[in-house]
């Protein structure tokens, strides 16, 4: 209506428009940084130790922030894709304005997909890279600032490969559900760093698939 330009239109996606889209992207980016940096700490700390040791020997390596920037850049890219997916789901009325799945079918699909992904060889290959930062540096070492940034980005790619489907679980219970954010972040930490990680990974896969099947049965 010409005389009411600021009235929100029914069915308009909360993330539509440049301003809301940017805010949603920032939200995803901050959330991914908070969830993923703890599990990346051993790799970042190892790189920092290499910087210090080489500095003592007179060799200056790029700072830790360069390596970490590469890692975070990859997760920022994932956040952009997640924002685009959220917009698409909202426009299809599959996600509510509160960023919670409005479809049992969608929720079940995400749960089953996340569970099956836990058992895929690709997931396990990425996990092995994340669990062995020393081997990663031995195999992927590059010199210079661009090399440090690239190593950080490659580490981030392996990390995304481990966890991207798990992040989609946020759509099931709510993107802003802090309990789910904490649970997923904690599981990623256990899966990547603790001795029982392989058992936890497989068990979680079974639990997710069973949860998804239970939802499908209720449809």
* Confidence (pLDDT) at 8: 40
Report whether 63 contacts 51 (CB < 8 A): yes
Domain boundaries, the chain: 18-218
pLDDT in tens, 80-116: 999 999 999 999 999 887 788 888 999 999 999 999 9
pTM: 0.85
Residues in contact with 96: Cβ distance below 8 Å, sequence separation at least 6, in sequence order = 102
Three-state DSSP class for 108? helix
For tokens 């929100």, name the residue.
8
pLDDT of residue 4: 38
Low pLDDT (below 70) residues in the chain? 1-16, 195-198, 219
Residues 155-171 have pLDDT tens digits of 999 999 999 999 999 99
Whether the CA torsion 159, 163, 168, 173 is positive or negative: it is negative
Residue from 150, 155, 160, 78 nearest 123 by CA: 160
154, 43 Cβ separation under 8 angstroms = no
């Amino acid at each position: 209506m010409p005389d009411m330009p600021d009235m929100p239109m029914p069915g308009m996606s909360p993330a539509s428009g440049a301003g809301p889209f940017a805010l949603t992207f920032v939200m995803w980016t901050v959330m991914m940084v908070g969830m993923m940096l703890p599990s990346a700490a051993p790799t970042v700390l190892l790189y920092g130790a290499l910087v210090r040791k080489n500095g003592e020997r007179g060799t200056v390596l790029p700072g830790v922030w360069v390596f970490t920037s590469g890692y975070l850049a990859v997760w920022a890219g994932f956040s952009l894709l997640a924002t685009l997916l959220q917009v698409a789901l909202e426009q299809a009325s599959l996600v509510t304005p509160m960023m919670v799945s409005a479809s049992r079918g969608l929720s079940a699909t995400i749960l089953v997909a996340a569970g099956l992904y836990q058992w895929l060889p690709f997931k396990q290959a990425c996990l092995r890279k994340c669990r062995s930062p020393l081997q990663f540096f031995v195999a992927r070492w590059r010199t210079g600032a661009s090399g440090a940034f690239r190593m950080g980005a490659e580490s981030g790619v392996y990390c995304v490969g481990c966890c991207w489907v798990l992040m989609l679980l946020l759509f099931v219970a709510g993107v802003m559900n802090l309990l789910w954010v904490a649970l997923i972040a904690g599981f990623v930490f256990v899966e990547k760093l603790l001795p029982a990680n392989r058992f936890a990974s497989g068990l979680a896969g079974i639990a997710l698939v069973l949860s998804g099947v239970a939802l499908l049965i209720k449809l």
